[in-house]
Amino acid sequence: MVRNKASSKKQQKRGVDFKKIKRKIGRKLPPPNNATSTEIKSKAIILPEQSVASEKAGLAVSKKGLTLKELLQQTSHHNPKVRKDFTVLTARKHKASLS
C-alpha cells in the first residue's frame, strides 16, 4: 500500500503543471491567453479636387484622351510602337490644323 500512496503523490505533482480544465457541453472555448487580435480597421480617403478629369479640363486632348505633356512623354518610351503612335497622332493633328 505504501507504493500506491507514493505513486499518487507523484501524479498530483505532475498534474499541477498540466491541469486540464473541464468544459461544459455546448459552451464555446475561451480565447487563449496569448491570442493575437487580427481585427483591421480602415477608412477610405476621398479627395474630390484631385481627379484626372478635372486635371485635363481646359487642355487640348487627343482622340485617345492624352494631353500634350503625355504625348511628349511617349517620345522617350522604350516601345517603338508607342513612339510611332505619337508621331502618327501629332502628324494627323498638324495636317488637320494646316488644312
Closest CA to 60 of 69, 52, 51: 69
Q: Name the more confident of 80 and 91.
A: 80
Structure-block grid coordinates of residue 68: 500634350
| pLDDT value of position 30 | 84
Give the pLDDT confidence of 53-88 residue by residue, as tens digits.
Answer: 556 666 777 777 777 788 788 888 898 888 888 788
Give the pLDDT confidence of 20-55 residue by residue, as tens digits.
Answer: 778 889 988 888 889 898 899 999 988 777 655 556
Contact 67, 56 (CB under 8 A): yes
**Predicted TM-score of the model (pTM):** 0.34
17 φ, ψ (degrees, to nearest 5): -70, -40
Give the up-direction half-sphere exposure of residue 33: CA atoms within 13 A in the CB hemisphere. Answer: 0
